[in-house]
Amino acid sequence: MASGRVLNGLSVDVEDWYQVGAFEKVIERDTWDKLPDRVSDNVVRILDMFAEADVKATFFTLGWVASRHGPLMRRITDAGHEMASHGWDHARVHGMDRRAFAEDLHRARTTLEDATGERVIGYRAPSFSIDQRTPWAYEVLAEQGYAYSSSVAPVVHDHYGWPKAPRFAFRPLDHNSLVEIPVTTAILGGRRVAAGGGGFFRVLPYAFSRWAIRQVNQHENRPAVFYFHPWEIDPDQPRVSNAPMRSRLRHYTNLHRMASKLEGLVRDFDWCRMDQIAHREAGRAQQVAA
Ligand SMILES: [Zn+2]
């Protein structure tokens, strides 16, 4: 690592091609077990890429996936990566009440911890679904002993977003040290733009992401937080033809370029696990009422 460079948080949201929010209305949950499994091979490719680049990351994994892929979970943690929770089956937090959220969190975490033998202290809400509608969510996370969450996209987006949330790490509770680490946004023309992964990273030229992460590192002196999904490096995944055109466009654009783009990204910046980012950011995270 070059001296003086900022360490950024690298994360993978471990879910299969049929579990994404964009397809939830056309693929029923009770058919998931009948669909071709692609997540294992894709995660192994990601582990190889990370090993090659010598980077460690956090894998926010669905409990549903962990319950079917125990050895893969151990392979992730044996390689030195952090296992963290992405909830049980990708149900959005703002679609649950407090009790259902607590049960979802508990079920996922038990499964992840049983599979790996390691403690889970990080959480990422499916589809960044912690926002102004879920004032109880951080209290539940704190009650269950989570150290951090990375569940907020502080932008305007058609599927998610909490545009008024802070752009960098904050403490949502006054009685607990829980830290929320939003995914990265950059300021472009006075507006916040998503720059932490997802469709934007695949659709826009890599130069945009590189510019945005440099802005955040060099001008704001903060870590960037980046995420992607195993299905994004898989151009051969089955096509969901009855999904809305807009969802299909977003899901399938540039899948064949994603792996080489990611290789550039892991090479051009310094990366670490999200628990390390939470630890480093805890000291300067301001308390902000959620
Ligand atoms: Zn997800």
| Overall pTM > 0.85 | yes
CA distance 137 to 160: 16
- Cα(19) to centroid(ligand 1), Å: 8
Residues 209 and 201 sit within 8 Å (Cβ to Cβ)? yes
Confidence of residue 265 (pLDDT cuts 50, 70, 90): very high
Predicted local confidence at residue 3, as pLDDT: 44
Span 62-80, pLDDT tens digits: 999 999 999 999 999 999 9
- Cα(162) to centroid(ligand 1), Å: 17
Confidence of residue 182 (pLDDT cuts 50, 70, 90): very high
- Cα(114) to centroid(ligand 1), Å: 21
**pLDDT at 4 exceeding the cut of 80:** no
The DSSP annotation for 100-136 comes to HHHHHHHHHHHHHHHHHSS---EE--GGG--STT-TT
- Could you tell me which residue, 160 or 60, shows the higher pLDDT? 60
CA distance 201 to 186: 13
Please list, in sequence order, all residues whose beta carbon lies within 8 angstroms of the beta carbon of residue 4, skipping any fewer than 6 positions away. Answer: none
- Cα(2) to centroid(ligand 1), Å: 32
DSSP 185: E
- Cα(4) to centroid(ligand 1), Å: 33
- Give the CA distances from residue 223 to residues 26, 50, 122, 174, 278, in Å, rounded to whole numbers and listed in that order: 37, 19, 17, 23, 10
Span 150-167, pLDDT tens digits: 999 998 777 778 888 999
Confidence of residue 2 (pLDDT cuts 50, 70, 90): very low
- Cα(136) to centroid(ligand 1), Å: 21
- Cα(53) to centroid(ligand 1), Å: 24
**pLDDT at 130 exceeding the cut of 50:** yes
